[in-house]
Chain A
Amino acid sequence: DGGITQSPKYLFRKEGQNVTLSCEQNLNHDAMYWYRQDPGQGLRLIYYSQIVNDFQKGDIAEGYSVSREKKESFPLTVTSAQKNPTAFYLCASSTGLAGTYEKEQYFGPGTRLTVT
Chain B
Amino acid sequence: DAKTTQPTSMDCAEGRAANLPCNHSTISGNEYVYWYRQIHSQGPQYIIHGLKNNETNEMASLIITEDRKSSTLILPHATLRDTAVYYCIVRVAGTSGTYKYIFGTGTRLKVLA
Which residues of A line the B interface, CB within 8 A?
4, 31, 33, 35, 41-45, 48, 50, 54, 56, 58, 88, 90, 92, 94, 96, 98-99, 102-110, 112
Contacts and interface: CB of A to CB of B under 8 A. Distances in A.
B97 A50 contact: yes
Interface residues of B, number: 25
Interface string B31-49: 0001010000111111001
Nearest to A88: B41
B103 A110 contact: no
Nearest to B94: A56
Interface of B: 34, 36, 41-46, 49, 87, 91, 93-106
Contacts of A44: 103
Contact of B43 (A56, A102, A109): A109
B96 A33 contact: no
